[in-house]
Chain A
């Protein structure tokens, strides 16, 4: 069974750094793209970037390029999303998700709520 289990909710202050995780199981970690998706309170879904763990190829949405860093550790089948300096506007739920063979996202993590206070 494919599973993506995300790290727990975080409460941070503006300017702090943060790294959230997405631990996967049930499939070949290195052969599927993993995406990160943001959902701000009461708003829609926004694609942030995707990573191919097999060769660490990463593509960022222009809206998030330079704002976040996506990475993966194949030894522990885990993908990461990190910020070096959080802003209050980063308050959102962040989902990791796995693309399927034809590109659509068939599996999602449960989401990580990040709350940033100013």
Chain B
């Protein structure tokens, strides 16, 4: 099975900071990688799919990059609403594997 590893966790940051979260796959997943944001008590929300495509309605300060085994989620200028936990996920025709999550907290 493919394993997804996120770093760092947690991540301490301030409003206005540029924030980068890394996700590494144990083997190549091409660009079949999504990013989700989850706030306490809520279901996750899709931010990025196919490694770098921004989901409709998601602010443009979120961006994704990478392919193969290394991916990043970048928040260009952290806003108060962005303090949450972020998950990467590999998906293919037979599995959906999540990373362990990165909690973005106030420094």
Contacts and interface: CB of A to CB of B under 8 A. Distances in A.
B1 A35 contact: no
A59 B100 contact: no
A37 B91 CA distance: 13
A44 B98 contact: yes
A47 B99 CA distance: 10
B50 A61 contact: no
Given A45-B87, A45-B101, A106 B55 contact: yes
Contact of A35 (B36, B96, B100): B96
Interface size, A (range): 20 to 34
The DSSP consensus for interface residues of chain A is strand
A105 B101 contact: no
Interface in B88-102: 89, 91-92, 94-101
Contacts, number: 64
Nearest to A43: B101
A41 B92 CA distance: 27
B50 A105 contact: no
B98 A104 contact: no
B19 to A, nearest CB: 19
B43 A95 contact: yes
Contacts of B95: 47, 59, 61
Interface string B80-92: 0000010101011
Contacts of A61: 95
B50 A104 contact: yes
A37 B97 CA distance: 10
21 contacts: A44-B87, A44-B100, A45-B87, A46-B98, A47-B96, A47-B98, A97-B43, A99-B91, A99-B96, A102-B50, A103-B32, A104-B46, A104-B50, A105-B36, A105-B46, A105-B89, A105-B91, A106-B46, A109-B43, A110-B43, A111-B43
**Which 10 interchain pairs have the tightest Cβ spacing?**
A104-B49, A108-B43, A104-B34, A103-B91, A47-B96, A44-B101, A45-B98, A59-B94, A44-B100, A106-B46
